[in-house]
Amino acid sequence: MMSDASITPPQWYPDPLGRHEMRYWDGTAWTEHVSSHGAQKVDPPSGEPNMVYGSDSAAKIRQQVEERAGIVPSTTAGGGIFDQPVLVVNQKVKLIELNNEYAIFDPNGEQIGLIRQVGQSKAKKAIRLLSSLDQFMTHTLQVVDMNGAVLLVVTRPAKVVKSRVIIQDGAGADVGEIVQENVFGKIRFGMFANGDKIGSINAENWRAWNFSITDDTGIEVARITKTWEGLARTMFTTADNYVVKIERQLDDPLRSMVVAAALTIDTALKQDNRGLG
């Protein structure tokens, strides 16, 4: 969270408490002024950050990485989300998904962050409960470390056919966009920064369970593998679990784009119709 007025100017930033999209920082402290989807309201900055804690054991995480994803991680540990060559993303199990929540682990099973959905009104949650109109709604996700600091903000505006995803850093500055490039067959997404295409995300089958992420030369820099929890869990819950392998150290903006895409692939890129866009 921000605390040094000398380096943090007064303006709107992603809400570190996770209750809204944005909260106003007055230069010395967080204020009660908040905003979601352009609508402002008042919510005092009291209470702890809205955190998502994973319940999976370290042994289960290692099994997910090694047996289901076929990755043998190095023995080294430590570091934050941007430092890991392998990330495990497990969705909180719910029979009905009204607010998307994920825990992020390192390959040794230590939780190093989380993904939380912000800015949902009660009316929006009611619509999600009673219908399957998610694709016509705007979804905003925050990638947060275990101290509650917002690292990335991922927003997918309401869509009709093709998805577009906006990536911002923890201070709300634009990083780039992910744009769906086709509708039929194996889905492809282009990654753009400052108007230039810097990479692509490519589904490896029509159901879009696994993805290859390449740079602008077509070289693979990351891979996303869906790991199954068994037929019963898949049929009766909405949980999605992924293992992300990043092949090499990347520079920004590609690094932030790859991490944002990998960590929010389900909600941001394939939430509706399971891979058909």
The boundaries of the domain holding residue 206 are 58-270
For residue 108, tell me if it sits in a domain: yes
For residue 182, tell me if it sits in a domain: yes
Per the rule left: phi > 0, alpha: psi between -120 and 50, beta: everything else, 187 is beta
- DSSP secondary structure code for residue 82 in this structure: G
- pLDDT (0 to 100) of residue 237: 40
For residue 243, tell me if it sits in a domain: yes
Same domain, 163 and 194: yes
Q: Which of 236, 208, 226, 36 is nearest to 137 (CA)?
A: 36
Same domain, 44 and 84: no
Stretches in the chain below the pLDDT threshold 50: 3-5, 94-98, 125-131, 230-238, 271-277
Same domain, 148 and 252: yes
For residue 86, tell me if it sits in a domain: yes
- pLDDT (0 to 100) of residue 134: 57
174-215, pLDDT tens digit by residue? 999 999 998 888 889 999 999 999 999 999 876 667 899 999
CA 123 to mean position of chain CA atoms: 23
- pLDDT (0 to 100) of residue 269: 61
Q: Which CATH number characterizes residue 163's domain?
A: 2.40.160.200
For residue 275, tell me if it sits in a domain: no
Per the listing, tokens 């694709």 go with: 135
Per the listing, tokens 């108007």 go with: 195
- DSSP secondary structure code for residue 93 in this structure: P
Same domain, 210 and 142: yes
Same domain, 45 and 87: no
For residue 276, tell me if it sits in a domain: no
For residue 112, tell me if it sits in a domain: yes
Q: Give dist(CA 91, CA 132) in Å, integer.
A: 19
What's the domain count of the chain?
2
Same domain, 156 and 244: yes
